[in-house]
């Protein structure tokens, strides 16, 4: 990947994770029996969620509206309840360290969070996209050349170098989403939590983001938790997919098997086009050519 961020050594920058005894990839994100209720609410938005994500792996999260996906993102990144209050039961660990006692700026170095609405993700104080992407690294007080390197790498990874001099408040929705993602990537956290990172992107932009994220996970060992309605993108990107409903993870498994699971459609999640095509052919009594459907995640 051109201009991709530099590979990070295990244990660097806030702790990449805890290596299990078998010396496999370290666990970057771990939730154990997590229940979370927003401030002022009696209901659990998350109700007994457990998951583990190792370095360099990508976990896709799908589910119907109100399933708790965005809440899981906030909790996984440590911002709920640290920044917005609420009740949390169970434990959340980033890089093997519990998030409950961490300060928000410490959490920002352990997990990067991309919210659904890119406009509110932008600082609103930067005159150019370049400075917007530099906002996070500058907050950390990094040396100027390190800030410049991170910004240029992040912009290059998403091929938006040309937006550098533009005013971030005058971008299209898709461009703003790419800038917001670049701003998160520039922090180089060991864990990325992305809430619908391609919701405002066209198919070409979506593929670009997919490639960039896959490259990031492969090159730097970044663990990525991504909420995504475009299941075909998860087919290309995710190692595993989990289905959420009612604040719980209903089931989780390898991407190909999960995206082919009938229960997905039952819960309102649309399978990738290739799966729908295969099912349609089978329903008509036709046998699909295996090579035709080889690219499982392709649209």
Q: What residues make contact with other proteins under the rule CB under 8 A?
A: 74, 77, 79, 82-84, 103-105, 107-109, 112-113, 115, 117, 120-125, 127, 131, 134-144, 147, 169, 183-184, 187
Please report the sign of the dihedral spanned by the C-alpha atoms of residue 239, residue 100, residue 198, residue 186.
negative
For residues 132 and 261, which CB has a smaller minimum distance to other proteins in the complex?
A: 132
What is the closest distance, in whole angstroms, from the C-beta atom of residue 126 to other proteins in the complex? 8
Tell me how far apart the alpha carbons of residues 147 and 136 are, in angstroms, rounded to a whole number: 9
For residues 58 and 74, which CB has a smaller minimum distance to other proteins in the complex?
A: 74
Tell me how far apart the alpha carbons of residues 240 and 125 are, in angstroms, rounded to a whole number: 38
| SS3 per-residue string spanning 116-158 | CCHHHHCCCCCCCHHHHHHHHHHHCCCCHHHHHHHHHHHHHHC
What is the closest distance, in whole angstroms, from the C-beta atom of residue 271 to other proteins in the complex? 31
H or E stretch covering 207: helix 203-220
What is the closest distance, in whole angstroms, from the C-beta atom of residue 103 to other proteins in the complex? 7
Tell me how far apart the alpha carbons of residues 169 and 247 are, in angstroms, rounded to a whole number: 34
For residues 58 and 79, which CB has a smaller minimum distance to other proteins in the complex?
A: 79
For residues 184 and 234, which CB has a smaller minimum distance to other proteins in the complex?
A: 184
What is the closest distance, in whole angstroms, from the C-beta atom of residue 73 to other proteins in the complex? 10
For residues 51 and 108, which CB has a smaller minimum distance to other proteins in the complex?
A: 108
What is the closest distance, in whole angstroms, from the C-beta atom of residue 184 to other proteins in the complex? 7
H or E stretch covering 204: helix 203-220
């Amino acid at each position: 990947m051109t201009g991709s961020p530099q590979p990070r050594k295990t244990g660097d920058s806030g702790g990449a994770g805890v290596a299990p005894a078998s010396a496999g990839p370290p666990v970057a994100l771990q939730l154990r029996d997590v229940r979370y209720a927003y401030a002022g609410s009696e209901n659990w938005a998350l109700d007994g969620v457990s998951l583990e994500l190792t370095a360099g792996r990508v976990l896709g999260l799908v589910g119907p509206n109100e399933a708790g996906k965005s809440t899981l993102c906030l909790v996984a990144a440590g911002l709920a309840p640290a920044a917005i209050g609420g009740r949390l039961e169970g434990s959340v660990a980033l890089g093997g360290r519990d998030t409950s006692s961490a300060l928000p700026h410490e959490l920002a170095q352990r997990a990067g969070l991309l919210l659904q609405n890119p406009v509110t993700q932008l600082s609103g104080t930067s005159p150019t996209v370049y400075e917007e992407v530099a906002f996070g690294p500058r907050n950390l007080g990094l040396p100027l050349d390190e800030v410049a390197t991170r910004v240029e790498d992040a912009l290059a990874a998403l091929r938006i170098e040309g937006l550098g001099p533009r005013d971030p408040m005058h971008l299209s929705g898709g461009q703003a989403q790419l800038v917001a993602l670049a701003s998160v990537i520039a922090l180089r956290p060991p864990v990325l939590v992305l809430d619908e990172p391609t919701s405002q992107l066209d198919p070409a932009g979506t593929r670009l983001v997919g490639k960039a994220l896959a490259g990031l996970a492969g090159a730097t060992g970044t663990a990525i938790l991504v909420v995504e309605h475009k299941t075909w993108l998860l087919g290309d990107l995710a190692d595993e997919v989990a289905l959420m409903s009612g604040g719980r993870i209903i089931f989780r498994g390898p991407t190909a098997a999960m995206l082919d699971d009938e229960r997905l459609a039952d819960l309102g999640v649309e399978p990738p086009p290739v799966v729908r095509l295969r099912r349609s052919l089978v329903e008509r009594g036709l046998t699909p050519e295996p090579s035709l459907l080889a690219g499982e995640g392709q649209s």
